[in-house]
Amino acid sequence: MAASVNPDRSQWDVIVLGGAAAGENAAQYATQYSGLSAVIVESNLLGGECSYWACMPSKALLRPVEVIDAARSLPGLAATLDPQAVLGHRDTVIHHLDDTSQVDWALQSGIDVVRGYGRLAGERTIDVALPDGTTRRITARHAVVIDTGSRPFLPDIDGLPAALPWSSQDVTTMREVPGRVVVLGGGVVACEAATWLRGLGAEVTIVHRSTRLLTRHEPFAAAEVTDELRRSGVRLLTGRSATRVQRPQAQATGRGHIRGGEVHLTLDDGSELAADELVVATGRTPNTTDIGLPAVGLTAGGYLHVDDHQCVQGTGGGWLYAIGDVCGRALLTHMGKYQARIVGEVIAARATGAGELPSAAQGHRGMPQVVFTNPQIGSTGLTEQQARDAGLDIDTVEYDLAALAGTYVMRPDYRGRAKLVIDRTDDTIVGATFAGAGIAELVYAATTAVVTRIPLSALWHVVPCYPTASEVWLRLLETLRQQRTDRER
Ligand SMILES: Cc1cc2nc3c(=O)[nH]c(=O)nc-3n(C[C@H](O)[C@H](O)[C@H](O)COP(=O)(O)OP(=O)(O)OC[C@H]3O[C@@H](n4cnc5c(N)ncnc54)[C@H](O)[C@@H]3O)c2cc1C
C-alpha cells in the first residue's frame, strides 16, 4: 500500500510523535530494511524547528555576514551587503515555510504522515487532535518514538510577556531588520543572532546575567567571539539582568514582524535601555507538558530520561523511546538525528529479533558542535574543565591558528586558536576546540579522533594538506611533544 497523508488506517508498527528531522530519521531507520510500517504525527511543519526556524534560517543569515567580513579582509574585493536580498535568500532556504518536499520524501520512503497534535493515551496508543476538531486514536504494534522537541524558555521578568518579545523563531524569520535590538541571553542562539543582526545593520546590545558569554565553551574560544562582537560594534552588558520590561504600544503583528512601539528595559543596576525590538534567547524548555505523559505513568514537563538505546525510563515494556531535544542529552540537530538512527535500528532489531541492539553511548562521547558566530567555534568531547571535573589525568595543548600558512592565505588578518585535551592514561584526545574563521570543517576530524580514540602515535602519520588550516593538527602534536620534553628536563 502506498504511503499517504492522513490515511484511513489506525495501526502501524511504529508511531513517531513529532516530525522533526530526527523523527523522520527514526521512521526511516526503523522501516527501511525491516519491513515494518511507520507513521509520523506532526502538528506543524514536517522538518521541525531546524528546517524552518533554527539551524537553516540562522545559517542562511550568518553566511553572507561571514563572507562579507572575509571579503573586506582581502585586497581587491569590494563587496556590499543587501539586507533585503539576504532575507529573500533565507526565505528560499526555508522553502517559504512550505514542507511539501519533506512530506514527499516521507511518502516516497513509504512512511505515512498524520497531520495533527498527538498525546499519549496509554501503552502504544496516541490520540491525535486533527485540524478539523475531531480526535483519532492510533496504536503502534511495537514502538512509539517521542520527538516533540523544545521551545524557547521565557524568563520570569516583570512585563516581559506583555511586551511580546521576539523568540528565536521571530529573529530567524524576521521580515525586516530592526534599527535597535536588545538580545537577552549569552548562549549560542544569543551570540549567533547578535552576529547576524549586527551584520545586517542593526544596533545590537546583549544583556547577559553571567559575566561571560558562551559559558559552556572553552574560555579562550568564548573570548575570541566576545572580542569580535565588541569590535563589530555590539554593546555587551554582561553580569546584568533585566528586572522590568515595558512596551506600552505592544502589538501582535505576527511572527518576524516588529511588535509595536519602543521597548524599555530596566536592568538590575538601575540603568535603562530602549530598543525597537527585544530578542529573548535565554534557553529552551522541552515540549513535554501536554503530550499525555501521565497516561503512561510519567510526569508531565521536564526532559525525558532515556538509556543508551534511547528508551524512556520509568514506563517499562521497552516500547517508548525519545530522541532530540526532548531527551535533553544534546540540544543539536545532528545529535538528535544520531539518536534517531540508533532508535530506528533498536526498534527494528527488537521487532524482528535480528541483530544486536546498538547503543548511543559512543557517539555521545564526541558530541560535536559548531557555533556559527564570527569567528566560529567548533568543539567535540570535553573541555579542559569538564575533563578535570570528570577526574581525568590530562594534558592540554594549544596552538595559534594565525601562525599557519593555510589561514594566512584565507585572510591575512586571521585570528584564532586551537586546543586539545588529552587523556594521559591512553594518550588519546578526549576534547578539542577550535576558534577561528572557517574552522567548522575541522570538527569532523577531531570528532573521529575522540569517538574512535585514535592514539596520538597514529595521528603523526595522518598528513594534513598544505596550505590548509588542518596543519594545526601537526603543529598541536609538535607543541605537545615539546611541552612534554620540556617537562621532563
Ligand atoms: C536559532 C537556533 C539555531 C540553531 N542552530 C543549530 C545548528 O546550526 N545546528 C544544530 O545542530 N542545532 C541547531 N539548533 C538546535 C536545533 O534546532 C534543535 O536541536 C533541533 O531542532 C531539535 O530537534 P528535535 O528533533 O528535538 O525537534 P524540533 O525541531 O523541536 O521539532 C519538534 C517537532 O515536533 C512537533 N510537535 C511537538 N509536539 C507535538 C505533538 N504533541 N504532536 C505532533 N507534533 C508535535 C513540532 O511541531 C515540531 O515540528 C538551533 C536552535 C536554534 C533555536
Same domain, yes or no: 272 and 165: yes
- 169: Cβ below 6 Å to ligand 1? no
Do β-strands 38-42 and 112-115 pair in parallel, antiparallel, or remain unpaired? Answer: parallel
pLDDT along the chain (489 residues), means of 10: 93 98 98 97 98 98 96 92 98 98 98 98 98 97 98 97 98 98 98 98 98 97 98 98 98 98 98 98 98 97 97 94 97 98 97 91 96 97 98 98 97 96 98 97 98 97 98 98 95
DSSP code, position 161: G
Q: What is the CATH number of the domain that holds 458?
A: 3.30.390.30
Strand, helix or coil for residue 237: strand
List the residue whose alpha carbon is closest to atom 12 of ligand 1.
332
3-state DSSP helix/strand/coil percent for the chain, to nearest 5?
A: 35, 25, 40
List the residue whose alpha carbon is closest to atom 7 of ligand 1.
55
In a domain, residue 63? The reply is: no
In a domain, residue 118? The reply is: yes
Same domain, yes or no: 323 and 228: no
Domains contained in the chain, number = 3
In a domain, residue 60? The reply is: no
In a domain, residue 43? The reply is: yes
How many angstroms is it from 49 CA to the middle of ligand 1?
4
Same domain, yes or no: 292 and 275: no
- Decide: pTM greater than 0.85: yes
pLDDT given at position 28: 98
Measured CA to CA in angstroms, residue 215 lies from 212, 331, 386, 433, 485 at distances of 6, 16, 12, 14, 33
Cβ partners under 8 Å of residue 161, min gap 6: 154
Ligand 1 nearest atom to the CA of residue 20, by list position: 31
pLDDT given at position 356: 86
In a domain, residue 465? The reply is: yes
CB 432 within 8 Å of CB 347: no
Residue count of the chain: 489
Same domain, yes or no: 199 and 328: no
List the residue whose alpha carbon is closest to atom 2 of ligand 1.
54
CB 351 within 8 Å of CB 34: yes
In a domain, residue 64? The reply is: no
How many angstroms is it from 21 CA to the middle of ligand 1?
8
Same domain, yes or no: 469 and 441: yes
Same domain, yes or no: 386 and 461: yes
CB 263 within 8 Å of CB 278: yes
Measured CA to CA in angstroms, residue 204 lies from 160, 193, 237 at distances of 19, 10, 11
Same domain, yes or no: 211 and 231: yes
pLDDT given at position 1: 75
Same domain, yes or no: 345 and 438: no
The H-assigned helical ranges of 200-303 are 219-231
Whether the bond into 467 is cis, omega within 30 of 0: yes
Which residues are paired to 281 by β-bridges?
Answer: none
pLDDT given at position 355: 80
Residue at 330: amino acid letter: A
Residue at 11: amino acid letter: Q
Show the domain range for 232: 161-282
Domain boundary among 352, 386, 408: 352
Which residues are paired to 11 by β-bridges?
Answer: 139
CA 201 centroid distance within chain: 25
Which residues are paired to 150 by β-bridges?
Answer: 286
In a domain, residue 81? The reply is: no
In a domain, residue 394? The reply is: yes
Same domain, yes or no: 338 and 296: yes
Strand, helix or coil for residue 58: helix
pLDDT given at position 158: 98
Same domain, yes or no: 290 and 404: no
Q: What is the CATH number of the domain that holds 137?
A: 3.50.50.60
Same domain, yes or no: 392 and 424: yes
Same domain, yes or no: 313 and 433: no
Q: Which of 40, 42, 55, 102 best tests ligand 1's pocket when mutated (most atoms within 8 Å of CB)?
A: 55
Domain boundary among 229, 250, 282: 282
* Cell 566576545 sits on residue: 226
- 310: Cβ below 6 Å to ligand 1? no
* Cell 521497552 sits on residue: 318
CA distance 77 to 80: 10
